[in-house]
Structure 1
Amino acid sequence: MIEASCHCGAVRLQVAERPQRLTSCNCSICRRLGTLWAYYPRDQLTIVQGAGTTVPYIQGDRTLALHHCPTCGCVTHWEGLPAGDPARVAINARLIDPAEIDGVPVRRFDGADTWTYLD
């Protein structure tokens, strides 16, 4: 199991497998948040602690909801909405113990302009 936790520990997420890759996006929200995303099918994400307590932020095209801890403010994950891909989620890999994701390749995604990978 791979676990991600916000700074205060109020929100804990689990996935069964180490991510195959991580994504660094430069879109207007991701570059401000400094997130590093690990994508999973929705049924592979378990919210171990804090389910129903995270605060969603839905922006622009309303395709996803970014969730953060109401106590410490860490962005924990996003969930796809019906206007996007509701079967997909991503966890903020910055909340995973670095040893757990050591060596996982990071892809750079141009979400600000071309909507393509830059590598």
Structure 2
Amino acid sequence: MIEASCHCGAVRMEIAAAPEAVTQCGCSICRRLGTLWAYYPPASVRLVPPTGATEIYSWGEKKLEFHRCRICGNATHWAAVDKTVNRMGVNARLMPPEIVKAAQLLEIDGPG
């Protein structure tokens, strides 16, 4: 298990395993957030606290909810609005640096 947390520590995540790869997405939101995404099934990520510590931003077709810490503003994760989607993104920049360095970096161009 690995741990990730926002800058102030109000949002923490316990994650089943280190990512094999992290994705640098070039879409309009990810580029501006400066995130590196590690993808997991939601069941393998435990949010501490489970609710209330993040604010949600969603736009357009509202398929994804981007979460950020209410206190320090760090982008923490995204979750699909459709709960049958078995994938979420965790901001790997909140993980220990050695975990991120060991992962393969994938770069993709996203829309917008």
TM-score (structure 2 length as normaliser): 0.92
Q: Map residues 75-94 of structure 1 onto 2, 5 A cutoff.
A: 75-82=75-82, 86-94=85-93
Q: Structure 1 CA distance, aligned partners of 2:29 and 2:46?
A: 24
Q: Does 1:49 align with 2:39?
A: no
Q: 1:101 is paired with a residue of what secondary structure?
A: helix
Aligned-pair identity in percent equals 46
- Residue in 1 aligned with 2:23? 23
Displacement of 1:50 in angstroms is 5.7
Return structure 1 stretches of 4+ with deviation > 3 angstroms. none
Can you give the 5+ residue segments of structure 2 that lack an aligned partner in the other structure? none
- CA RMSD in angstroms comes to 1.6
- Residue in 2 aligned with 1:3? 3
Displacement of 1:14 in angstroms is 1.3
Asked whether the 8 Å contact 1:12–1:48 carries over to 2, the reply is yes
- Residue in 2 aligned with 1:110? 109
Displacement of 1:4 in angstroms is 0.9
Displacement of 1:41 in angstroms is 0.5
TM-score (structure 1 length as normaliser): 0.87
Change (3 A) 1:85 1:105: farther
Displacement of 1:85 in angstroms is 6.0
Q: Structure 2 CA distance, aligned partners of 1:34 and 1:44?
A: 24
Displacement of 1:60 in angstroms is 1.3
Q: Structure 1 CA distance, aligned partners of 2:62 and 2:16?
A: 28
- Residue in 1 aligned with 2:36? 36
Q: Structure 2 CA distance, aligned partners of 1:87 and 1:59?
A: 21
